[in-house]
Amino acid sequence: MSASAPLVPGYPQTPALTAARLVLSRDMTLAFRRAGELVQPLIFFAIVATLFPLAITPEKSGLRVVAPGVVWVAALLASLLALEFLYRDDAHDGALEQFALSGQSLTWLLFAKSIAHWILTGLPLAIMGPLTAWSFGANMSALPGVFISVLLGSIALSLFGSIGAALTLGVRRSGVLLSILTLPLTVPVLIFGARATQQAIQGIDYTAGAQLLGALAILGITLAPLAAAAAVRISLE
Amino acid sequence: MAWTWFHKLGSPPYVFRLAETLTPWFWWISAVLIGYGLIGGLVISPADYQQGEGYRILYVHAPTAWMSLQVYVVMAVASAVGLIWRIKVAHAAAASCGSMGATFTACALATGSLWGGPMWGTYWEWDPRIIFELVLLFQFLGYVGLRAAIDDKQRADRICAVLAIVGVVNIPIIHYSVEWWNSLHQTASVMKLGSKPTMPMSMLMPLMSMFLGYVALFGALLLTRLRAELLSRERSASWIREAVHA
């Protein structure tokens, strides 16, 4: 395709996948330059998880029952917190505008940004999730199940969240609105995720819940970047 | 051509006058249907052998709950039409749907709660259909909030259209996930409307009449709001002066 591609001004010379990979590595580089900000969602997650034993009961028997809910609500809130910064800096310095003008598929570029967001916030949460469940009294044998469910669920959270972030791009003081728009989208993720986590902690087969989470993640991967790209284009007009 | 009606629907002056003509019809049809439904439902039809007189709130609750979903679908379809063919009138219609849908959903929740009080023994139950309605309400409120937060009307229209379309894709997913959540969740058994064997004609007829009456009511409200929306959006256009002074 590259050999026969016409040399029209504005016609992208770089294949879409290469461009997406470049955006991914750019986002990762930028994020690691400010490593201090990287751990903030994790600290937030840990603080939210710490509040529950203080607010409910320090007894392990009680905590084990609420552990899946705590892991998922904390993961949801931490993911939401990080979403605000998904497009904001790029929108401020004009990089997002350049993405839209580059002639490259904006869908692919935004997908790459979502994947970078997931690697930076979702993946660490998938490691914190089992740790929290363990501290809440779950058995060691349950932790792989917790890890898998948070891993799959966080992919869906990052991608569904990217739609909300794109919709609120041009909005002043968008924080609360972002939550109001994103939380209804993430209700199914929370339901299946908390269910799979609960079954893993109880030692029951959790594959059904994990598969549904996988289905939601695939739905997010296929459709969310399209919607996000449409919203970003309108916001930039 | 057969498609001229479609093009005409894209013209604000034409739609404004059409809405003006149709609005009284919708009001009358809804008044007749809801009037018959109320008399048939509240006076003529017999009391339920299990629930006594209290079941009669069904005649208001079921149509509002049904309409809450219909309004979202209408809003999403209008948004898609506006986004794809760039029709301003469709965006105006979608904008009129937002707060109306939120009202229908809130009414469905309120009447459902009032019904649940005496029948289930609790005004609030974490039942899948209640949660579904609640999430739907949040979606409507998010739509209204997003529209209010963007100053540029045209950009607000198109951004909100994307939100409405994403939301309508989300509705079946939420519906099935709360259903499955409930089947996995061992809740106390609650009385379900669906478990009733059959409904006698004396109850079914007023209920159907209420359903259709609410559709007509929604049509009348939508057209009225659409006219207001067009008036405010096109206030600098010359046809407005003719339409208002005519």
Collapsed DSSP state (helix, strand, coil) of residue B52: strand
Residue B110: count other Cβ atoms within 10 Å of its Cβ.
Answer: 13
Contacts of A168 in chain B (CB under 8 A): 146, 149
Determine the pLDDT at residue A158.
94
Measured in angstroms, the CA of A229 and the nearest CA of chain B are apart by 10
Query: pLDDT digits over A171-212, tens only?
Result: 877 788 999 999 999 999 999 999 899 889 888 888 888 999
Do the Cβ atoms of A170 and B178 come within 8 Å? Answer: no
Contacts of A188 in chain B (CB under 8 A): 170, 173-174, 177
Does the beta carbon of B186 lie under 8 angstroms from any beta carbon of chain A? no
> With a cut of 0.90, is the ipTM above it?
no
Does the beta carbon of A235 lie under 8 angstroms from any beta carbon of chain B? yes
pTM of the model: 0.88
Contacts of B149 in chain A (CB under 8 A): 168, 171-172, 174, 177
Q: Find the mean pLDDT for residues A110-114.
A: 94
Q: Find the mean pLDDT for residues A47-55.
A: 91
Contacts of B155 in chain A (CB under 8 A): 170, 234-235, 237
Determine the pLDDT at residue B96.
93
Determine the pLDDT at residue B234.
85
Angle at A70 between CA A34 and CA B187, to 5 degrees: 150
Contacts of B169 in chain A (CB under 8 A): 223
Measured in angstroms, the CA of A216 and the nearest CA of chain B are apart by 9
Determine the pLDDT at residue A151.
94
Does the beta carbon of A227 lie under 8 angstroms from any beta carbon of chain B? yes
Q: Find the mean pLDDT for residues A93-111.
A: 89
Contacts of B139 in chain A (CB under 8 A): 184
Measured in angstroms, the CA of A219 and the nearest CA of chain B are apart by 11
Q: Where are the domains of chain A?
A: 38-236
Measured in angstroms, the CA of A125 and the nearest CA of chain B are apart by 23
Exposure b/e, B66-82, CB count within 10 A at least 16 = b: bbbbbbbebbbbbbbbb
φ, ψ at A23 (rounded to 5°)? -65, -40
Q: DSSP letters of A58-96?
A: S-HHHHHHHHHHHHHHHHHHHHHHHHTTTTHHHHHTTHH
User: Which residue, among A110, A187, A226, would best test binding to B if mutated, counting the most B CBs under 10 Å from its CB?
Assistant: A187
Answer whether A166's CB lies under 8 Å from A100's CB.
Answer: no
Measured in angstroms, the CA of B116 and the nearest CA of chain A are apart by 24
Residue A165: count other Cβ atoms within 10 Å of its Cβ.
Answer: 29
Does the beta carbon of B141 lie under 8 angstroms from any beta carbon of chain A? yes
Answer whether A75's CB lies under 8 Å from A125's CB.
Answer: yes
Determine the pLDDT at residue B222.
95
Token pair 């919607």 is at which residue?
Answer: A227
Two tokens at A146?
A: 């917790």
For chain A, percent of residues with pLDDT exceeding 70: 95
Query: pLDDT digits over A16-37, tens only?
Result: 888 899 999 999 999 888 888 8
Measured in angstroms, the CA of A182 and the nearest CA of chain B are apart by 9
Contacts of B182 in chain A (CB under 8 A): none
Angle at B172 between CA B167 and CA B176, to 5 degrees: 135
Contacts of B163 in chain A (CB under 8 A): 167, 181, 231
A188, A216, A234 ranked by CB distance to B162: nearest: A234
Q: Which position has the higher pLDDT, B79 or A13?
A: B79
Does the beta carbon of B87 lie under 8 angstroms from any beta carbon of chain A? no
Stretches where chain B sits below pLDDT 50 are: 186-194, 197
Q: Find the mean pLDDT for residues A40-47.
A: 90
User: Which residue, among B133, B143, B146, would best test binding to A if mutated, counting the most A CBs under 10 Å from its CB?
Assistant: B146
